[in-house]
Amino acid sequence: DLKQFEPPKVKVFKPSTKECQNEKHKKNKKTLLCVASDFYPDHVNVSWQIDGVDVKDGVATDHSAHWNGTHYRITSRLRVLFSQWFKPGKNFTCTVDFFDGEQTVSRVGWVAAGKIIQILQFCADKYLKTTHNAKLSYLVLIIKSSIYGLFVIILVWKLQVGPKRSSSCLCHEQWSLYETYLNTKQSFNSTTCFFLQRNLSETESKCNAGSIC
């Protein structure tokens, strides 16, 4: 049996609220989506209008309709400037021309411009989330620095209160401590670095004097 001609159902979807701001050349643009579905055959043409005027820039339409087993479906996207989407009174229309075997009929879907309060709310939420993540990263960095600092303080304390050794052993320990400082000093805060440098100076004095631990 021959399948009957069926015109498309057209719906236009507003831009996602998550599309606050894109990177590089896509910055400050909004994307509208037009979906034409449940039509047969695939004799369609999709176009966009802003306030009744045809637009070509920013339009991206599927090269061909997709067959789902019973009907065809096609999608088209329109990218507009941030300022256009939030300009009061603007209307965005998607027109799908369909040939029904005898004549061309048009089906349309449309949406009105968005409200600026929606995007401001999302951007504010996004800013707060970013700030929270930055604070968390800074806190982790401080904790790691403190752990490294505590490690060095314990090491120096052990050298000071440990069993007595010869002056050659002391000089060896001084060098080992200095190496630890050079390898890890970037992880310490200024207070820890001062404490470590002071103990290195004291150790060096003892070594030069030939004293023991």
Give the range of the structural domain holding residue 131, as residue numbers without chain letter. Answer: 120-209
Tens of pLDDT, residues 116-130: 655 545 555 565 677
Instruction: Name the one residue in this structure whose structure tokens are 């504010």.
Output: 124
Instruction: Indicate whether 153 and 185 sit together in one domain.
Output: yes
End residue of a domain, out of 97, 114, 131:
114
End residue of a domain, out of 81, 114, 147:
114
- Bigger pLDDT: 145 vs 196: 145
Instruction: Indicate whether 199 and 163 sit together in one domain.
Output: yes
Query: CATH number for the domain including 102?
Result: 2.60.40.10
Instruction: Indicate whether 131 and 104 sit together in one domain.
Output: no
Residue 23: per-residue pLDDT:
46
pLDDT at 135 over 50: yes
- Omega of the bond leading into 15 within 30 degrees of 0 (cis): no
> What pTM value is reported for the model?
0.54
Q: Considering the domain boundaries, does residue 3 fall inside one? A: no
Q: Considering the domain boundaries, does residue 2 fall inside one? A: no
Q: DSSP states of 56-88 as a string?
A: -TTEEE-SSPEE-SSSEEEEEEEEEEHHHHTST
**Number of structural domains in the chain:** 2
Instruction: Indicate whether 61 and 43 sit together in one domain.
Output: yes
d(CA 93, CA 34): 9
Instruction: Indicate whether 76 and 166 sit together in one domain.
Output: no
Residue 137: per-residue pLDDT:
81
**44 in Cβ contact with 8 (< 8 Å):** yes
pLDDT at 209 over 80: no
Q: Which helix (H) or strand (E) holds 12?
A: strand 9-13
Residue 136: per-residue pLDDT:
81
